[in-house]
Amino acid sequence: MTLTGQLLIGQRAVTGSRGEIRAFNPATGEALEPVYRGGGQAEVELACEVAWAAFDSYRETGLEDRAAFLETIASEIEGLGDDLIERAMAETGLPRGRLEGERGRTCGQLRLFAEVVRAGEWLDVRLDPALPERQPLPRVDLRQRHIALGPVAVFGASNFPLAFSVAGGDTASSLAAGCPVVVKAHSAHPGTSELVGRAVQQAVAKCGLPEGVFSLLFGAGREVGQALVSDPCIQAVGFTGSRAGGLALLATAQARPQPIPVYAEMSSINPVFLLPEALKARGGEIAEGFVASLNMGAGQFCTNPGLVIGIKGEALDAFAAAAGQAVKGSAAQTMLTPGIHAAYEQGVGQLAGSGKAREVARGQAGEGPHGCQAGLFSAPAGDFLADEALQAEVFGATSLVIECTDLAEMVAVAEQLEGQLTATLQLDDGDLAAARALLPALERKAGRILANGWPTGVEVCHAMVHGGPFPATSDARTTSVGSAAIQRFLRPVCYQNLPAGLLPEALKDGNPLGVTRLVDGERES
Q: Which of residues 261-280 bind a second copy (CB under 8 A)?
A: 261
Q: In this complex, which beta carbon is closest to a second copy, that of residue 339 or of residue 492?
A: 492
Looking at the Cβ atoms of 356 and 448, the one nearer to a second copy is 448
Q: Of 505-524, which residues contact a second copy (CB under 8 A)?
A: 516, 518, 520-521, 523-524
Choose between 3 and 450: whose C-beta lies nearer to a second copy.
450
Rounded Cα gap, residues 186 and 92, in angstroms: 11
Residue number, 44 or 427, with CB nearest to a second copy: 427
Give rounded-to-5 percent helix, strand, coil for the chain. Answer: 45, 20, 35
Does the active-site annotation cover 265? Answer: yes
The answer for residues whose C-beta is within 8 angstroms of residue 2's C-beta and 6 or more apart is: none
- Touching a second copy, residues 402-431 (CB under 8 A): 419, 427, 429
Cα→Cα distances 416→288, 305, 408, 410, 454, Å: 27, 17, 12, 10, 22
Which span (159-167, 279-287, 323-331, 433-441) binds a second copy, by CB under 8 A? 433-441
In angstroms, how far is the first alpha carbon of the chain from the final one?
46
501 vs 510, beta carbon nearer a second copy = 501
- Residue 408 C-beta: closest distance to a second copy, Å: 16
Binding a second copy (rule: CB under 8 A), the pick from 220, 405, 476, 511 is: 476
Catalytic residue among 48, 179, 302, 372: 302
Q: Angle between the 63-79 and 190-206 helix axes, to the nearest 10 degrees?
A: 140
Q: Which stretch binds a second copy (CB under 8 A): 160-168, 173-181, 398-406, 469-477?
A: 469-477
Size of the site for a second copy (CB under 8 A): 79
Closest to 388 measured CA to CA, from 409, 413, 353: 413
User: Out of 126, 184, 198, 356, which residue is the one contacting a second copy (CB under 8 A)?
Assistant: 126
CB of 148 to a second copy, least distance (A): 10
CB-based contact 157:240 (threshold 8 Å): yes
Among 103, 479, 506, 513, binds a second copy (CB under 8 A): 479
Q: Are 141 and 129 in contact (CB under 8 A)?
A: yes
Q: Which of residues 138-167 bind a second copy (CB under 8 A)?
A: 139-140, 142-144, 147, 149-150
Check binding of 127 to a second copy (CB under 8 A).
yes
Site string for a second copy, 436-465 (x = CB under 8 A): x--xx--xx-xxxxxxxx---x-x-xxxxx
Write out the binding residues for a second copy, residues 29-58 only, by CB under 8 A.
Answer: 56
Which residues sit opposite 181 in a β-bridge? 152, 214
In terms of Cα–Cα distance, which of 445, 368, 425, 434 is closest to 407? 434
* Residue 224, helix vs strand vs coil: helix
Kindly report the length of the chain: 525
Shortest distance, CB of residue 155 to a second copy, whole angstroms?
Answer: 19
Instruction: Give 341: exposed, middle or buried? Use CB within 10 Å, 0-12, 13-18, 19+.
Output: buried
- Using DSSP bridges, classify how beta strands 12-14 and 7-9 pair: parallel, antiparallel or unpaired: antiparallel
User: Nearer to a second copy by C-beta: 343 or 498?
Assistant: 498
Stretch that binds a second copy, among 18-26, 37-45, 126-134, 316-324 (CB under 8 A): 126-134
The DSSP 8-state label assigned to residue 122 in this structure reads G
Rounded Cα distance between 146 and 169, Å, is 20
* 219 touches a second copy (CB under 8 A): no
Smallest distance from a second copy to CB 428, Å: 10
Q: What angle do CA 507, 56, 485 make, to 5 degrees?
A: 70
Catalytic residue among 71, 91, 265, 403: 265
Residue 36 or 273: the one with the smaller Cβ distance to a second copy is: 273
Closest to 310 (Cα-Cα) out of 387, 414, 395 = 414
Q: How far is the CB of 2 from a second copy (least distance, A)?
A: 33
Is 494 a binder of a second copy (CB under 8 A)?
yes
Nearest-10 crossing angle of helices 223-230, 41-58: 40
| Residues assigned a catalytic role | 265, 302
